[in-house]
Amino acid sequence: MTEQPNENHQQPGAPAGGDRLTPRPLNRPAVDDVQAATFGRPQGVDGAFDKLYTPGLTNGHSPGINLAPPAPESLAEAFRRPPGAEGVLLERPHGESGSAEDDPESPLWTSSSDPWRDPAAGAVLGGPAVQTEEEPKAGARPRGAQLSLPEVLFGRRVKPKALVLLGVVALLIGAVGGFIGWWAADTGTALTGEATISEAEAAKERPAGSIAEIAKRVAPAVVSLEVYKPGAEQGEQGSGVMIDPQGYVLTNEHVVSSAVADPQTKITAVFVDGSRTEAKIVGSDQKTDLAVVKVNVTNPTVLQVGKSANLQVGDTVIALGSPLALQNSVTSGIVSAINRPVTAGGDNGGPPVTYEAIQTDAPINHGNSGGALVDSTGALVGINSSIRSSGADGGSIGIGFAIPSDFAVKIAKSLIKDGKVSHPDIGINASSTVMGSTTMGAQVKNVAPTGPAASAGIKEGDVITKIAGRTVRDSAELTVAVRGHDVGEVVPVQLVRDGALLVVDVTLGSD
């Protein structure tokens, strides 16, 4: 029996000799309306998309499909195939070599300048692009012909007035440029010129009571005294303080001692402004190293006198004078000690001078003698008199001495009034009593027969330890303790005699 072919053709991959498997049930899940609108077929297309184009239809268009309009003529002319190449593909025929060496020029390519030549061939550079001349804008002014310098000057192409105006403008521009260059060169270069330095509007603050403010007020009342003899090669110099509007100047006796001894010696007072005038001696006292001279000036600056008794150790003091012939010098320091008995050597062969002094570390040198020692208010508290120095140069080592103003002004008043001074005297000569390394008092060496001490019963060999309650440690302190009182004053004197302590009253006499 002949086997009939099956109407259902066996598909590849189906089991041979068996029945075909029935298709699985179609399961179409529900489609979201938004996704259907986004991914569904276009309107009017029911079948597959390949039906949009069906080869062989008239004009190649499917019915009912709207295609894009034809390209513009300019683009079609630029990108269409060259004449004679209609229907010719740009690819080489299959099987032909693509090497330029095997087939340098295919019959398809007729010219080396053909834009559709072999892509494997080398590039050919064309000619440069030529820019077309732009049409002048409406209303634009046409450009004139350019003229050379000879044509401007000698070709009579420009009016003479225009040339003159051009020359004037050029001269003005040159003058302005020259002025700017001169100014730049004159004001400064890389190495020379005027410096621009910033300066402070005010220097240093000088409040009331500062050393600068005090020195400014006090300096006009401190004078420099030049003592010299006409015809002599050298002279002496010291300082003085104006204490009275009538022209009285207080100074040290050793500053004017040569003028006291020789009337031909002259004294010249030099003020802070440089003015000079002659000074006359009013009186001097060698025992206290004080003197007064007078100058003939109008409305002098007078120094205010303070209270030296109010000074305490550590107070600020300022020394003014002419140290080492350096006029109008100012130094400052503090009070190192008060009531310091000092004995200085006498000048011109005179006896030693003993006085009670203010010790200060304000630098004082030769020439400061007779100058002012003022306090922090600018008031006179002392007359600079001597220094303690070491070495042959005799320079300042920070130990200077000044006569207290209370005592100095008292002596000055006596000199101005009488021309001399009477000093209280106890009528004895004494020396310092030393035991070990300390002094224990002033030992009486001799007693004046009719003096105050003899009248009070003081004997030779007694050791005086106190006068009017003030401790006496040596002979210098005995002298200053006695001079601290007035002539005729009765003072208690404590002494030691043969180990016994005695107190006697002494009526001070005059020297």
Helix (H, G, I), strand (E, B) or coil at 456: helix
CB atoms closer than 10 angstroms to residue 380: 28
Q: Rounded to an integer, what distance in angstroms lies between the CA atom of residue 40 and that of residue 420? A: 143
What's the DSSP call for residue 114?
-
Beta strands in 116-233 (DSSP E): 222-228
CA dist., res. 332 & res. 210, Å (int) = 11
> Which of 224, 239, 254, 375 is an active site residue?
254
**Which distant-in-sequence residues (6+ apart) come within 8 Å of 75 by Cβ?**
none
Asked if 60 and 52 touch (Cβ cutoff 8 Å), the reply is no
Give the residue from 311, 448, 449, 320 showing the smallest Cα distance to 381. Answer: 311
Residues paired with 332 in a beta bridge: 318
Contacts of 108 (CB under 8 A, 6+ apart): 88, 92
Q: Hey, which residues does 278 pair with through a beta bridge? A: 268
Any catalytic annotation for residue 369?
yes
Catalytic residue, candidates 239, 258, 284, 369: 369
Active site residue 289: yes
- Residue 175: partners with Cβ closer than 8 Å, 6 or more residues away: none
DSSP state of 158: S
In whole angstroms, give the CA distance from residue 484 to residue 251. Answer: 20
Between strands 463-467 and 400-404, the pairing is: unpaired
Whether 103 sits among the annotated catalytic residues: the reply is: no
Say which residues have a Cβ less than 8 Å from residue 299's Cβ, sequence separation at least 6. Answer: 245
CA 247 to chain centre: 46
Using CA of residue 246, residue 247, residue 253, residue 258, what is the dihedral sign?
negative
300-311 b/e (C-beta count within 10 Å ≥ 16 → b): bbbbebbebeeb
Burial class of 368 by CB neighbour count within 10 A (0 to 12, 13 to 18, 19+) = buried
Cβ–Cβ under 8 Å, residues 267 and 256: yes
| Catalytic position from the list 239, 257, 258, 289 | 289
Instruction: Taking the CA atoms of 324, 329, 333 and 335 in sequence, report the sign of the dihedral they define.
Output: positive
Of 246, 212, 352, 332, which is closest to residue 289 (Cα–Cα)?
A: 352
List residues with catalytic annotation: 254, 289, 369
